[in-house]
């Protein structure tokens, strides 16, 4: 048995290529996201890391936790750097200059590096159709600079730039930007596969990574990754909170295949959605919310579930 375990542990499928030696916070959701993405992708992989927590906290003092090639990109140009790497490999293989198998090219961008500051390069990469998987690890803020608001920050969340106060008692006053329809619902003709994923559902997440890498073109995975420091919860509750997001409808798990935005395939469908209050109460970033703010979030979640086509009982609208 020991020999069998040893031989299995050396197969590509089970080996970790995101290894110890980084300085992320205890309970960091994006670090676990990276580990699972790397494990699913395997050894023939190149990571591009635009500036974000998964660059800054992973690369202090010239150390890195990757057992595969990794390069930094600016927060603005992750899509451009990934495009160049993919095209260089494609042309060198085509011209017979190298005998390599085309690698998995994965750009691991935060919410800022993908859907805000980095949006133009990512959009251009999708539009041109390079064979790159973009994983947006979403911790709902600009975390590596001290938890500033990003378009992914949910309505009602406190950040350094959105403190609750007399003028805006709910803190963040807009609902979050959703990058999936921006990328998948038209305008990027080569982008055929998009999926939402969560570190609370690791097998589903890894399957979606492999599905995205199997595309003969670009693919996009939007990965919900709770951040204990930015969201103010104890580090041992990361997975519980990730799951609670799905159970309350604060996060939904689905896939879009063949570019068919109108027909989403849900990979996890709760039997019914729990009230959002159960999720909000786990995080101090929401502790200032009044009942009218919670009602607004519940209504938003209910409307989004209906718009996505989720046919499950919803908590009462308020
Ligand atoms: Fe991870 Fe959040 Fe800490 Fe950044 S701030 S290292 S995302 S837990
Ligand atoms: Mg972020």
* pLDDT value for 47: 98
Calculate mean pLDDT across residues 172-192: 96
Return the pLDDT at 21: 82
Mean pLDDT computed over every residue of the chain: 95
CB of 226 shorter than 6 A to ligand 1? no
Q: Which residues lie near ion ligand 2 (Cβ < 5 Å)?
A: 110-111, 139, 143
Pocket test for ligand 1, best of 35, 109, 143 (most atoms within 8 A of CB): 143
| Per-residue pLDDT, 13 | 53
Cα–Cα–Cα angle for 248, 249, 252, rounded to 5 degrees: 135
Closest-CA residue to 37 (of 27, 21, 48, 51): 48
**Alpha carbon of 29 to ligand 2 centroid (Å):** 11
Task: In whole angstroms, give the CA distance from residue 248 to residue 267.
Answer: 15
pLDDT at residue 5, as a whole number: 53
pLDDT band at residue 2 using 50, 70 and 90 as cut-offs: low
Distance 233 CA to ligand 1 centre (A): 12
132 vs 7, residue with greater confidence: 132
pLDDT one-digit tens code per residue, 62-87:
889 999 999 999 999 999 999 999 99
Of 197, 55, 35, the residue nearest 113 (C-alpha): 55
DSSP symbol at 71:
E
Question: What contacts 24+ positions apart, CB below 8 Å, involve 168-172?
Answer: 169/288, 169/290, 169/293, 170/288, 170/289, 170/290, 170/293, 170/296, 171/285, 171/288
pTM: 0.95
Residues 196, 211: Cα–Cα separation, whole Å: 12
Does ligand 1 lie within 6 Å of residue 227's CB atom? yes
For range 191-202, the mean pLDDT: 98
Residue 129 has pLDDT above 90, yes or no: yes
Mutate to test the pocket of ligand 1, among 22, 26, 29, 57 (most ligand atoms within 8 A of CB): 57
The per-residue pLDDT for 183 is 98
On the question of pLDDT at 12 being above 60, the answer is no
Mean pLDDT of 177-182: 97
With a 6 Å cutoff on the Cβ, whether 53 touches ligand 1 is: yes
273-315 pLDDT per residue, tens: 999 999 999 999 999 999 999 999 999 999 999 999 999 999 9
> Per-residue pLDDT for 4 more than 80?
no
């Amino acid at each position: 048995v020991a020999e069998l375990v040893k031989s299995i542990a050396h197969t590509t499928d089970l080996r970790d290529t995101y290894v110890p030696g980084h300085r992320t916070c205890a309970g960091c959701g994006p670090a676990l996201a990276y580990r699972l993405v790397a494990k699913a992708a395997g050894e023939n992989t190149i990571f591009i890391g635009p500036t974000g927590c998964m660059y800054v906290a992973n690369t202090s003092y010239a150390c890195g936790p990757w057992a595969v090639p990794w390069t930094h990109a600016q927060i603005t140009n992750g899509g451009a750097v990934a495009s160049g790497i993919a095209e260089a490999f494609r042309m060198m293989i085509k011209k017979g200059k190298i005998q390599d198998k085309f690698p998995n090219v994965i750009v691991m961008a935060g919410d800022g590096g993908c859907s805000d500051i980095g949006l133009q390069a990512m959009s251009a990469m999708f539009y041109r159709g390079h064979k790159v998987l973009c994983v947006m690890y979403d911790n709902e803020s600009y975390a590596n600079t001290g938890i500033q608001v990003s378009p992914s920050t949910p309505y009602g969340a406190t950040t350094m730039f959105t403190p609750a106060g007399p003028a805006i008692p709910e803190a963040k006053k807009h609902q979050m930007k959703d990058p999936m329809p921006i990328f998948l619902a038209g305008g990027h003709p080569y982008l055929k596969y998009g999926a939402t994923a969560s570190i609370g559902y690791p097998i589903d997440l890894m399957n979606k990574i492999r599905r995205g890498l199997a595309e003969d073109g670009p693919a996009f995975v939007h990965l919900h990754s709770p951040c204990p420091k930015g969201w103010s919860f104890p580090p041992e509750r990361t997975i519980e909170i990730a799951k609670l997001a799905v159970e309350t409808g604060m996060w939904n798990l689905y896939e879009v295949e063949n570019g068919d935005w109108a027909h989403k395939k849900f990979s996890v469908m709760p039997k019914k959605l729990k009230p959002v209050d159960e999720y909000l109460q786990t995080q101090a970033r929401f502790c200032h919310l009044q009942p009218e703010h919670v009602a607004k979030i519940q209504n938003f979640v209910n409307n989004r579930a209906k718009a996505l086509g989720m046919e499950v009982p919803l908590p009462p609208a308020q």
